[in-house]
Structure 1
Amino acid sequence: MKNQICSSIFVLFFFLLVRIEAQTCNPSGKIRGIKAPPGQCNKEKESDCCVQGKLYTTYKCSPRVSGHTKAKLTINSFEKGGDGGGPSDVTCKSVKAKVVDECDSTKGCDADHDFQPPCPNNIFDASKAVWKALGVPKSDWGELDIYWSDP
Structure 2
Amino acid sequence: GIAGLYRVHLAKTTWQVSAGKELKWALSDQSAGSAEIFPTMKSDIILEHKTAQRRIIIDTKFNSILTKGWYREQSLRNGYIYQLYTYLRTQENKTDPLSLNAAGLLLHPAVGYMLNEYVVTQGHKIHFATVDMTVDAKAIKKQLLAIAHDCAGVAVDD
TM-score between the two structures when normalised by the length of structure 2:
0.24
Task: Flag the structure with higher helix content.
Answer: 2
Task: Flag the structure with higher strand content.
Answer: 2
TM-score between the two structures when normalised by the length of structure 1:
0.25
Q: Choose between structure 1 and 2 for higher RCO, CA contacts under 8 A separated by at least 6 residues.
A: 1
Computing the radius of gyration from Cα coordinates, the structure with the larger value is 1
